[in-house]
Structure 1
Amino acid sequence: MDGLDDNPQPADCILILGNTVNPNGTLSARLQARLDKGLELYRQKLAPVVMVSGGLGKEGHYEGRAMAAYLEAAGVPADAIIEDNLGNTTRATAQNFAAVAQRQQLGSVLVVSQFYHITRTKMLLKQQGNHQVYGAHADYFELRDMYSLLREIPAYYRYAFN
C-alpha cells in the first residue's frame, strides 16, 4: 500500500527507474508513464534535477539514454538530467544514486516507479545513505502488476535482510 500512498515532497532530485525500451527504440507504455510522472513532478518544481536510471535492455537500447532523450524532448534541460545506464537492478540504481548524491551533495530524493516497486526502492535508497526518500507512482496499471506485486514481496525481504 505504501506505493499507492504518494508523498511527493520537495527534494534535491527526482529519480526515475527504468523499464523496457522497445526493439524499435520507442518507450514501453510503463516506462513512458514513469517518465510522464517524473516530468509532472519536475514541472511542479519539486526538484531541480532528474536522474534517470536503467540498464542495457535485451532489446539493445540503454534505458537511461532513451529516458533522458524523452525528457529533453519534453523541455527538460540536458544539464538538469543525470543519466545512469548502469542501473541494471534496483540495488544498482540505489548504489549509483548514492554515488551521485555524495558527489553532488544531494540529501533527498523523490523516487518514481510502479506502485509495487516504490517500497523496496525506498528501502534500498535508505540503505545506501542517509537520504530523505519520498515516492510517487506512475499512473499506469495493467494485469501484469498482480504478478509483479507478488514477486515484489519476497524481493523486499531478500533485500531487507541482505
Structure 2
Amino acid sequence: MKFLWTLLAFSIFFLLLSFAGDFLVVAEEPKIADAIIVLSGDDGGRTERAVELYRQGYAPYLILSGGRIYQETTMAELMMQHALKLGVPKEAIVLENKSSSTYQNAVHSKEIMEKYKFKSAIVVSSNYHMRRTRVVFEQVFQGTGNVFAYVPSADQDYNPARWWEKNRSIMVTITEYIKLIGYVLRMAT
C-alpha cells in the first residue's frame, strides 16, 4: 500500500511539474491603450511585438524600459534604435532608462504614465516572463485605476508545454519560479 501512495504522490508531482511552463505564461488579447510598455531583456523580439501592436493601432506611444548595460548605453536606447529601424517615429517613443529589474521597470513606467497622464497600457515581455510581470505591475499600480493588457512576445527558444526538453528552458523556468516566489514573499512582509 505504501508503494501505491508513493507512486501516486510522484505521479501528481510530475503532472504538476509538466504544467510549470504553462503557468508562467499570461497571454491576454491586446486592447486599445494609451501606451505599450516594452520590458528589456531579450534580443529584440519584445520590441518587434510592440512595434507590431503599434502598427495595428493599439497605442500611439511605446515606453521602452531598460537601464544601463554598458557605460554609455542603456537597453532602452538599444530598443529605441531597433524600433526606429522598424519604422516607429521618434516622437512616439518614450525612454525609461533607469531600471535593472522587473520591479524597477514597473516603478519607473508608473512615473512615466503619471507624467503623461496615461491610464492604460499594453505590457510586452517574453512569454515565460509574463506571470511575474503581471504580479509586479499589479502590485506597483495598485489603487491607481490604470488598466493593463499583458501580451507576450513569442520566444522561439521557450516552449512552455515542453520546457524540460532544452537546457535553456529548464534554467529559464527555474529562474522565473525563484524570482516569482521571492517577489511574492517580499510582498507578504
Same fold (TM over 0.5): yes
Q: How does 1:8-27 map to 2 (within 5 A)?
A: 8-19=30-41
- In the aligned structure 2, how far is the partner of 1:103 from the partner of 1:4? 28
1:98 lines up with 2:107 in the alignment: no
- Structure 1 equivalent of residue 63 of structure 2: 51
The normalised TM-score by structure 1 is 0.84
Unaligned 5+ runs, structure 2: 1-21, 158-165
Between Structure 1 and Structure 2, the one with more helix by share is 2
User: Which deviates the most, 141-150 or 10-19?
Assistant: 141-150
State the shift of 1:3 in Å. Answer: 2.2
- Structure 1 equivalent of residue 129 of structure 2: 117
Stretches of 4+ aligned residues off by more than 3 angstroms: 58-61
State the shift of 1:105 in Å. Answer: 1.3
Q: How does 1:27-66 map to 2 (within 5 A)?
A: 30-57=42-69, 61-66=73-78
What's the RMSD between the two structures over aligned residues? 1.8
State the SS of the aligned residue for 2:50. helix
Q: Percentage identity across aligned positions?
A: 24
Match of 2:148 among 123, 133, 157: 133
Cα pair 1:13 1:47 within 8 Å, conserved: yes
- In the aligned structure 2, how far is the partner of 1:3 from the partner of 1:59? 33
Match of 1:158 among 147, 166, 182: 182
State the shift of 1:124 in Å. Answer: 1.4
Which structure is larger by alpha-carbon Rg, 1 or 2? 2
| Length, aligned pairs only | 152
Cα pair 1:126 1:132 within 8 Å, conserved: no
State the SS of the aligned residue for 2:64. strand
Summarize the Cα distance change of 1:3–1:11 in structure 2 as closer, same or farther, 3 Å threshold. farther
- Structure 2 equivalent of residue 78 of structure 1: 90
State the SS of the aligned residue for 1:31. coil
- In the aligned structure 1, how far is the partner of 2:107 from the partner of 2:100? 11
State the shift of 1:4 in Å. Answer: 5.1
Summarize the Cα distance change of 1:145–1:10 in structure 2 as closer, same or farther, 3 Å threshold. farther
- In the aligned structure 2, how far is the partner of 1:160 from the partner of 1:100? 25
State the shift of 1:127 in Å. Answer: 1.4
Cα pair 2:60 2:92 within 8 Å, conserved: yes
State the shift of 1:153 in Å. Answer: 1.4
State the SS of the aligned residue for 1:91. helix
State the SS of the aligned residue for 1:106. coil
State the shift of 1:74 in Å. Answer: 1.6
Unaligned 5+ runs, structure 1: 20-29
State the shift of 1:113 in Å. Answer: 1.0
